Structure 1
Amino acid sequence: MSISIKSLRHKSEKRYQFMMIVLGLILWAVVAYWVWKDWNEPRIGHFVQLYVGYGVAVALFIWIASAAYRASAFGNMILIGPRQFPELHQMVVDSAREVGLPKPPTTFLYNSNGLFNAFARRLMGGRYVFLTSALVDANNDAQVRFVIGHEIGHHAAGHLNPWLNALKLPAFAIPFLGKAYSRSREYTCDSIGAYLSKDLHASRTALQMLGCGCRRLNSQMNCDAFMEQESMVPPIFGFLTEISRTHPRLTRRVAAIRDGVEQASTMRDRMLDAEPRF
């Protein structure tokens, strides 16, 4: 039985997504009206046409860059599959199946020269996940499952839907709103990753490893001690430094995982109880 992403979606994301869609629609309508009204206006019409041309050029550049990145990935990175790191491939397949994706994302492993990172992208209409060698090397299997689940979560939750993102695009111009929306999406994917990993402790330590980055100390990490550092963050400057970031503080993310997984487990139990039994 696949888990409902709705049960894992962070409550703040629901609110911010609604705001982004509504404001995006309004701002796109304003832009469309402005273009229609002033397209042939003698004084500023040429500026309007120029800006529209810039917009088309940017969209074309993004499409070309996506095609180039895809070509570079297939030519230089390691494509994970049944014959190439089959254990990692199975993690991707199992996670995609459990969240209801019709097809597992194409997944690559690449040499990051020590950089810890993983990310999900849509390229030429396809779903992709990228894992750095340093991250896979430093984490154990349960932690890697969390990371893979987190990135697949971006696809399953619709965070990379190109049409929906285009609709919300103008709303990112509103100060701090887009960053707050991005942080809420990270909370959602942390919950998805933790649920798919089936190991709460490994999920929390996988996040903590982003701050630690030391394979030798991986098994010695204390998540409770790490979460206690949150109380040491100065309130004012902690707020000021976070409102301009796309990702929440690691201390907050580690603390939030338990709540997200417990909420999903409760909802799933209710769904199972509600199913007819014969």
Structure 2
Amino acid sequence: MISQGLLIGLIKGTGVRVTEKQFPDLHKVIVKQCKALEIRNVPKTYIIESAILNAFATRFAGSNYMILFSELAELILSEDTEKDVVDFVVAHELGHIKRNHITRRLLVYPSMFVPFLPQAYSRACEYTCDSIGCALSPTGAVQGLKMLAAGKKLSKKLNVKAYSEQTQRDEAGFWTWFSEKLSTHPHLSKRITVEMLKADFVATASGKTTYFEEKEKPKTKVSTKESIDDIKKALKPDDFKSDDHDKYLPKG
């Protein structure tokens, strides 16, 4: 509790609070996503200086907090970044709050003493939040993860299929497998799934790129063709038996 309190105090004292007056565009996205996920209390969001592409959600003294590292905030808020990517990143972090992952970690604290189990639980939480992000922004999921993997500029030239197969074939091995077992996050190359590619293709083809009514910036022909090619090259029909991402959204 003391270490968590010190962390929150440091964030409040040095971070930049996102409000209607401070980064209003990002604040609107957060409020919009909270409404879609039926999160009644909008979490306090801060941007802190860091050269790492990362973000996290936490909870202290009954309040939820969302922290965006400046490098990631700059990436997703740049003028040439598609808005659906912002929707995905914000929805992913809000997913931790919606699914009470922070509180549940306290309830499963005894598992911390079981080798590999806490990391496995954390990775499962990340997959869940990826699904939540994909449900709210199907076209932002693939592009958002591509940006996390290769940055804003290189992500536009990233071959998704080759990257997804990287750790399954070319870079597979004991150390690749073992490093993930010790990590709280799945390898990024595994997080871009066939389900996401299918959702991206369907959303782009239908013109509904987000969960919300307003139409976002359409995908380019190159990225759309890439999604089509990935789907056509599936090994078998079972590859497309995907989870229904909408199950993570409020009913009605």
Aligned residue among 151, 161, 168 for 1:224? 161
The residue matched to 1:101 in structure 2 has which SS? Answer: coil
Change (3 A) 1:68 1:226: same
* Structure 2 residue runs without a partner (length 5+): 200-241
Structure 1 residue 120: Cα displacement: 0.5
Task: Please name the residue that 1:263 is paired with.
Answer: 243
> What's 1:192 paired with?
132
Mapped partners of 2:184, 2:59: distance in 1: 18
Q: Secondary structure at the match of 1:263?
A: coil
Change (3 A) 1:257 1:189: farther
Q: Name 1:137's counterpart in structure 2.
A: 74
Amino acid paired to 1:143 = V
* Deviation beyond 6 Å, 4+ runs, structure 1: none
CA distance in 1, matches of 2:96, 2:112: 18
- Per the alignment, residue 122 of structure 2 pairs with 182
Q: How does 1:225-244 map to 2 (within 5 A)?
A: 225-230=162-167, 231-244=169-182
Query: How many aligned residue pairs are there?
Result: 203
Alignment of 1:113-152 (within 5 A): 114-139=51-76, 140=81, 141-152=83-94
What SS is found at the alignment partner of 1:145?
helix
Aligned ranges for residues 206-225 of structure 1 at < 5 Å? 206-213=144-151, 215-225=152-162
Aligned partner letter, 2:42:
P
**Superposed displacement of residue 134, structure 1:** 1.0
Matched AA of 1:130: I
8 Å CA contact retained: 2:18, 2:46? yes
Q: Which runs of 5+ in 1 are unaligned?
A: 1-62, 273-278
How far residue 116 of structure 1 moved from its aligned partner, in angstroms, is: 1.0
Q: For 1:1-278, what aligned pairs fall within 5 Å after superposition?
A: 63-112=1-50, 114-139=51-76, 140=81, 141-161=83-103, 164-196=104-136, 198-200=137-139, 202-213=140-151, 215-230=152-167, 231-255=169-193, 258=196, 263-265=243-245
Q: Sequence identity of aligned pairs in percent?
A: 31
Cα deviation, 1:115-153, whole Å, max 9, x if unaligned, reads: 211011102221010111211222323222211111110
Q: Contact 2:134/2:245 (CA < 8 Å) preserved in 1?
A: no
- 1:101 maps to amino acid: I
Whichever of the two has the greater Rg, that structure is 1
SS at match of 2:102: coil
Task: Between 147-156 and 202-211, report the one with greater CA deviation.
Answer: 202-211
Which one has more relative contact order, counting CA pairs under 8 Å at least 6 apart?
1
Q: Which amino acid aligns with 1:199?
A: P
Structure 1: which amino acid aligns with 2:39? L
Q: Residue in 1 aligned with 2:216?
A: none
Q: 2:142–2:197: 8 Å Cα contact kept in structure 1?
A: no
Kept in 1, the 8 Å contact 2:17–2:45? The answer is yes
Judged with a 3 Å threshold, the aligned counterparts in structure 2 of structure 1 residues 73 and 257 are, in CA distance, closer, same or farther, namely farther
Q: Are the equivalent residues in 1 in contact too, given 2:131–2:245 (CA < 8 A)?
A: no
CA distance in 2, matches of 1:146, 1:172: 30
RMSD of aligned C-alpha atoms? 2.5
1:91-111 deviations in whole A, cap 9, x for unaligned? Answer: 111111111211111111121
For residues 141-166 of structure 1, the C-alpha deviation after alignment (integer angstroms, 9 at most, x for no partner) is: 322221111111001011011xx433
Q: Distance in 1 between matches of 2:32 and 2:246?
A: 22
How far apart are residue 267 of structure 1 and its match? 5.0
Distance in 1, Cα, partners of 2:180 & 2:134: 23
Higher helix fraction (1 or 2):
1
